[in-house]
């Protein structure tokens, strides 16, 4: 009887404890913070810059608290569990735990490398949720998808006892996390008996064998996720063999003795058979930029001289000193976006696209790998929304302090930089009236109600004192300076209030400038990115935000242009798409429409757009980003078909053209098998596609086309299909240089498929996709070249004008229509020659134009190890052929690697 009463009492107490803990967790956990349960000394982690927010409980051995910011795990670096759990070296029951309510992801970390003598309660983690992924490095980690009830039970057990999880692994900590992407699926090959997977002998030799098996399994992820180069025994090896070309680039004996190192900062060209460049005529004075190029040539000369006279140490020092004053013209500027949710990221990118100059900037996702720091080289602005992971926070702070620009919208990044600020009170998603400059009483959504200076801060800005006219006489003033120490250096950040919330007159928009640096950041607690449509189900908020939407866009535009020096469009107008035109011989057009299986009832349905071919007396209907009416019997007013077809002398390529003034992307029209030689030309693209799905800016003046080729697989080119990208780029350069007088125009190929001017400025590129149907490859080539557009870098016709001034010539600019015809002529000529005579003549021409002859590069492994290699050329598949320092020859593939060839670096991709 007494035992029964005690058992009932214990059951009630356990139920009460669980309910109390559940209520406490339910009231404190949110999207911004994370629950952390661990030993007291493990709360602080030097690798994660986070703050403790709330203490939930503390025992002799355990502490539970909430920390901010919550970390987000990229599950692509984790491994999925096998379907048959007998293939896993740790015993796991095949349980199916139902998840009720809000899904919560938890990270469990346990000791792996050494066995801790078992004195704890053993639990099976699969009894508390669904196993998502695992990894094994210094510890064993597993991500579990669960709900609040199961999380409460697990936390309760962990709070009362030391726990061992599956295979007697000592549990170190439990933490709630956010996740992105899916875990990697590997092939599990070895099957285990249950006796093996429950536990091993305590003897170190047996435990070490178990640990090695687990780590060997995890190492398989590298075979899938790492690039094609790896380091083995100090030397890089290519994972896929490629035969070197039979013939090395021609060079004389003197050239063989010289090994030139390509350096981005010199702006040097390294090309075969390069003719001396003539200086400007006596009658024309060099422009500042021309002087810069002259200075760069002088730098190269000085460096070369120093390499002969001095030892290695002095040579390096001389080069470093000389190159400090030399800067390279940038690539097209990028705006990078980071947000803690896909919805927010889409909102930000959409509003930026509507405001920023579309001819100048490309908008990308910010790479989140902590190892990747190269993204800041061509970045003019980073936009951050929401919670930021600690490793990324450190990179962003470094970017700001060294001259970068940030726009922080409702992000906890502010607390890492302006750490003297807190929040006056928390009222998330509040509709308030907001003032900024000439814009008054603007209704906006607030994230956290307001910024507030820490009372401990004694230095305040008089400009920020609003207490004299505010409704709250106690409204806080804002500190004018924040001192920061980062990477052993001290910085001073000057703070200015730009906008305020009108009820309490507290600052909601701040400008922070790094003293003695170009670094600037704007911190906003109003949701500048949210479109009113987000609140269409809330009538009051929707109408209020709609009435202020024009002001919101104007405020954001003013912030970008006035405080962050970006160029914005003059209006927020929508893009007006227009009808297209089918150009070419009438019989050829009819044959394509009747013989092509992809065209039904005069309509071609592609993945992202539908093309409707319209004959006489057919209403074309409305043109849009997803619908293109194409007139069969009409000609465009701003594309001279006379100039085009008079210049064109091909049999197939370019004989049929679909032309449009504005398209999303020319590539979108070629997703089906159509006709060999069919070309799509757009005077302007709104969503141009580059390599690796990067954006390609295609403003007016950019010569953009897509070409479909049908290549037999048993032909010369069909057996070396990747060379098609090199053939097309050679054709483009050859067609330009074949123009009378332009054989010395300073343009060349940056491997694998970019067009560069003066060896340093990107002015063109192409992307190739292919599909194999039977014995034919359907190859779609998309290409864009800056022909007459000065943005985002420079263009061919500007180079011609510069060439005329330097050489006292009068070469005319290349007309738009004649450029396309000349390129298609050269593509067909090279294509037929390769199919008939092989690649030897093509390689000779290719090496006249490329920029990497006799260049040394550094090949860097995923682990950071590096080795030097000399570039020899390209192999029969178009891959880069290099000779390592030990004499070994290997090939480097473009996919899976990041090639900063102009700075002599080949490294694994970081994003």
**Highest averaged pLDDT of the listed ranges 58-62, 197-201, 269-273:** 58-62
Residues 539 and 834: their CA atoms lie apart, in Å, by 66
Q: Which of 88, 169, 166, 82 is nearest to 124 (CA)?
A: 166
What spatial distance separates the first Cα and last Cα of the chain, rounded to whole Å? 66
* pLDDT for residue 589: 92
Whether 303 shows a pLDDT value over 50: the answer reads: no
* Range among 457-466, 810-819, 856-865 rated most confident: 810-819
Among 757, 739, 737, 762, smallest CA distance to 747 is for 757
Provide the pLDDT for residue 275: 36
Cα separation of 443 and 123, whole Å?
Answer: 53
> Residue 759 pLDDT more than 70?
yes
CA distances (Å), origin 11, targets 4, 157, 162, 188, 695: 10, 14, 21, 43, 62
Strands 657-663 vs 679-689: parallel, antiparallel or unpaired: parallel
Neighbours of 83 (CB within 10 A): 9
pLDDT of residue 779: 94
Q: How far apart are CA 397 and CA 246, in angstroms?
A: 50
What pLDDT is recorded for position 470? 34
Count Cβ atoms within 10 A of the Cβ of residue 650 and give its class: 0-12 exposed, 13-18 middle, 19 or more buried. Answer: middle
User: Mean pLDDT over residues 819-846, rounded?
Assistant: 93
**Average pLDDT over the chain, rounded to an integer:** 76
Q: Are 807 and 637 in contact (CB under 8 A)?
A: no
Question: Tell me, what DSSP letter sits at residue 203?
Answer: S
What is the C-alpha separation between 741 and 487, in angstroms, rounded? 54
Q: Are 727 and 827 in contact (CB under 8 A)?
A: yes
Short-list 743, 730, 734, 731, CA closest to 800: 743
Question: What DSSP character marks residue 850?
Answer: B
Measure the CA dihedral 905/906/908/911, to 10°. 60
| Average pLDDT estimate for 498-527 | 86
pLDDT at residue 292 in the model: 42
Q: Is 119 exposed, middle or buried (0-12, 13-18, 19+ CB in 10 A)?
A: exposed
Question: Which has the closest alpha carbon to 678: 577, 765, 579, 591?
Answer: 591
What is the structure's pLDDT at 699?
Answer: 67
Q: Give 514's strand partners.
A: 493
Query: Residue 162: its pLDDT value, please?
Result: 77
pLDDT number for residue 478:
52
Lookup: tokens for 707: 């070409």
**Residue environment code for 224-238, b if the CB has 16+ CB neighbours within 10 A, otherwise e:** eebbbbbbeeebbeb
Containing 629, the helix (H) or strand (E) segment is strand 627-631
Tokens of 151: 């999380």
CA 831 to chain CA mean position, Å = 34
Q: According to the model, what pLDDT value does residue 371 have?
A: 46
H helices present in 784-875, as ranges: 796-807, 816-837, 840-849
Q: How many residues comprise the chain?
A: 911
Report the b/e string of 801-810 with b at 16+ CB within 10 A: ebbbbbbeee
> Picking from 261-265, 561-565, 699-703, 843-847, which range would have the lowest pLDDT averaged per residue?
261-265
Q: Are 604 and 626 in contact (CB under 8 A)?
A: no
Q: Give pLDDT tens digits for 227-265.
A: 333 323 333 333 333 333 344 444 443 333 333 222 222
Residue 863 pLDDT level (bands cut at 50, 70, 90): low
Burial of 883 (0-12, 13-18, 19+ CB in 10 A): middle
CB 695 within 8 A of CB 689: yes
Q: What angle do CA 98, 104, 106 make, to 5 degrees?
A: 105
Over the stretch 590-617, which tens digit does the pLDDT of each residue have?
A: 999 988 989 999 999 988 899 999 988 8
- 711 close to 779: Cβ distance less than 8 angstroms: yes
Give, for 398, the enclosing helix (H) or strand (E). Answer: helix 390-401
CA dist 286 and 299 (Å) reads 18
Q: Half-sphere exposure of 380 toward its Cβ, with a 13 Å CA cutoff?
A: 20
> For residue 824, what pLDDT is reported?
96
Instruction: Show Cβ contacts of residue 743 under 8 Å, excluding neighbours closer than 6 positions.
Output: 737
**Above 80 in pLDDT, residue 858?**
no
Give the helix, strand, coil percentages of the chain, each rounded to 5: 30, 30, 40
Helix then strand count (H, E) for the chain reads 18, 44
Q: H helices within 163-287, ranges in order?
A: 194-198, 204-225, 253-257
| 274 Cβ contact partners less than 8 Å away, ≥ 6 residues apart | none
How far is 782 from 770, CA to CA, in rounded Å? 11
CA neighbor of 700 nearest in space, from 685, 689, 680? 685
Q: How far apart are CA 671 and CA 611, in angstroms?
A: 12
pTM, entire model:
0.53
pLDDT, tens digit, 9 for 90 and up, residues 770-814: 888 888 999 999 998 989 887 777 889 999 999 999 989 999 999
- The closest alpha carbon to 581, from 471, 696, 680, belongs to 680
The rounded distance, in Å, linking the Cα atoms of 703 and 814 is 11
Q: What does the pLDDT look like over 387-433, one tens digit per residue?
A: 888 878 888 888 888 888 999 998 888 888 887 665 555 456 678 88
pLDDT of residue 302 exceeding 50: no
User: What's the gap between Cα 258 and its chain centre?
Assistant: 37
pLDDT at 893: 66
Instruction: Calculate what percentage of the chain has a pLDDT beyond 90.
Output: 21
What residues form DSSP beta bridges with 146? Answer: 104
Say yes or no to pLDDT of 543 above 60. yes
pLDDT at 176 over 60: yes
pLDDT tens across 652-694, in order?
Answer: 999 999 999 888 888 889 988 999 999 999 988 876 554 444 4
C-alpha–C-alpha distance, residues 328 and 886, integer Å: 33
pLDDT surpasses 50 at 572: yes
SS3 assignment, position 433: strand
């Amino acid at each position: 009887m007494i035992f029964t009463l005690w058992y009932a009492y214990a059951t009630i107490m356990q139920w009460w404890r669980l309910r109390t803990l559940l209520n406490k967790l339910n009231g404190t956990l949110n999207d911004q913070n994370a629950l952390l349960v661990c030993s007291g000394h493990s709360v602080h982690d030097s690798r994660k810059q986070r703050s403790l927010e709330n203490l939930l409980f503390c025992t002799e051995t355990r502490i539970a608290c909430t920390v901010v910011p919550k970390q987000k795990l990229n599950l692509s670096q984790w491994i999925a569990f096998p379907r048959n759990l007998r293939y896993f070296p740790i015993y796991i029951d095949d349980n199916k735990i139902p998840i009720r309510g809000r899904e919560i992801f938890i990270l469990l970390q346990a000791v792996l490398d050494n066995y801790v003598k078992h004195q704890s309660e053993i639990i099976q983690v699969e009894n508390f949720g669904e196993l998502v992924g695992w990894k094994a490095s210094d510890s064993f980690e597993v991500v579990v998808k669960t709900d609040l009830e199961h999380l409460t039970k697990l936390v309760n057990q962990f709070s009362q006892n030391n726990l061992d999880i599956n295979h007697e692994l000592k549990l170190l900590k439990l933490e709630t996390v956010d996740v992105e992407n899916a875990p990697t699926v590997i092939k599990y090959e070895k099957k285990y008996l249950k006796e093996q997977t429950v536990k091993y002998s305590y003897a170190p030799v047996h435990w070490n064998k178990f640990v090695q098996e687990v780590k060997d399994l995890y190492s398989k992820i590298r075979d899938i996720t790492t690039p094609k180069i790896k380091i083995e025994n100090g030397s890089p090896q290519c994972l896929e063999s490629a035969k070197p070309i039979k013939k090395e680039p021609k060079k004389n004996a003197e050239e063989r003795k010289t090994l030139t190192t390509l350096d981005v900062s010199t702006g040097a060209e390294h090309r075969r058979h390069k003719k001396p460049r003539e200086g400007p005529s006596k009658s024309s004075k060099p422009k500042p930029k021309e002087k810069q190029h002259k200075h760069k040539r002088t730098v190269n000369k000085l460096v070369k001289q120093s390499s002969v006279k001095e030892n290695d140490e002095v040579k390096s020092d001389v080069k470093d000193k000389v190159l400090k004053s030399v800067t390279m013209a940038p690539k097209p500027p990028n705006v990078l976006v980071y947000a803690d949710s896909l919805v927010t990221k889409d909102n930000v990118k959409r509003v930026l696209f509507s405001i920023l100059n579309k001819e100048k900037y490309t908008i990308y996702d910010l790479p989140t790998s902590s190892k990747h720091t190269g993204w800041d080289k061509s970045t003019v602005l980073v936009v951050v929304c929401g919670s930021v992971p600690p490793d990324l926070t450190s990179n962003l702070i470094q970017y700001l302090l060294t001259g970068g620009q940030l726009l922080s919208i409702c992000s906890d990044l502010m607390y890492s930089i302006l750490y003297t600020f807190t929040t006056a009170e928390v009222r998330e998603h509040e509709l308030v009236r907001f003032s900024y400059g000439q814009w008054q009483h603007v209704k906006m959504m607030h994230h956290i109600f307001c910024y507030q200076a820490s009372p401990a801060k004694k230095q305040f800005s008089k400009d920020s004192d609003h207490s004299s006219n505010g409704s709250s006489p106690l409204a806080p003033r804002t500190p004018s300076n924040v001192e920061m120490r980062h990477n052993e250096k001290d910085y001073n950040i000057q703070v200015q209030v730009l906008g305020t919330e009108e009820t309490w007159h507290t600052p909601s928009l701040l400008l922070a400038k790094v003293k003695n640096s170009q670094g600037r950041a704007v911190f906003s607690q109003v949701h500048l990115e949210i479109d009113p449509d987000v609140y269409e189900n809330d009538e009051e908020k929707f109408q209020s935000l709609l009435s202020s939407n024009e002001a919101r866009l104007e405020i954001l535009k003013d912030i970008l242009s006035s405080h962050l020096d970006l160029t914005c469009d003059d209006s927020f107008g929508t893009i007006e798409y227009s009808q297209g035109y089918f150009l070419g011989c009438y019989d050829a057009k009819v044959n394509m429409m009747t013989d092509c299986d992809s065209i039904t009832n005069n309509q071609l349905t592609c993945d992202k757009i539908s093309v409707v071919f319209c004959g006489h007396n057919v209403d074309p209907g409305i043109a849009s980003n997803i619908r293109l009416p194409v007139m069969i019997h009409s000609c465009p007013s701003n594309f001279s078909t006379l100039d085009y077809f008079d210049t064109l002398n091909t049999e197939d390529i370019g004989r049929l053209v679909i032309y449009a003034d504005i398209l999303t992307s020319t590539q979108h029209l070629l997703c089906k098998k159509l006709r060999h030689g069919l070309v799509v030309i757009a005077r302007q693209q709104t969503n141009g596609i580059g390599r690796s799905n990067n954006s390609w800016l295609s403003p007016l003046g950019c010569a953009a086309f897509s070409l479909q080729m049908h290549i037999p697989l048993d032909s010369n080119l069909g057996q070396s299909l990747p060379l098609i990208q090199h053939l097309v780029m050679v054709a483009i350069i050859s067609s330009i240089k074949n123009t009378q007088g332009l054989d010395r125009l300073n343009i060349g190929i940056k491997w694998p498929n970019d067009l560069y001017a003066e060896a340093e400025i990107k002015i063109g590129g192409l992307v190739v996709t292919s599909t194999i149907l039977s014995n034919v490859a359907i190859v779609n080539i998309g290409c864009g070249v800056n022909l007459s557009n000065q943005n985002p870098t420079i263009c061919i016709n500007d180079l011609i004008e510069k060439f005329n001034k330097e050489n006292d010539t009068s070469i005319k600019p290349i007309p738009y229509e004649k450029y396309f015809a000349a390129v298609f002529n050269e593509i067909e000529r090279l294509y037929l020659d390769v199919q008939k005579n092989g690649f030897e003549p093509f390689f000779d021409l290719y090496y006249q134009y490329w920029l990497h002859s006799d260049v040394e590069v550094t090949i860097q492994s995923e682990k950071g190890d590096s080795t030097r290699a000399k570039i020899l050329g390209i192999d029969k598949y178009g891959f880069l052929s290099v000779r390592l320092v030990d004499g070994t020859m290997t090939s480097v593939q473009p996919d899976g690697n990041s090639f900063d060839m102009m700075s002599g670096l080949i490294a694994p991709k970081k994003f």
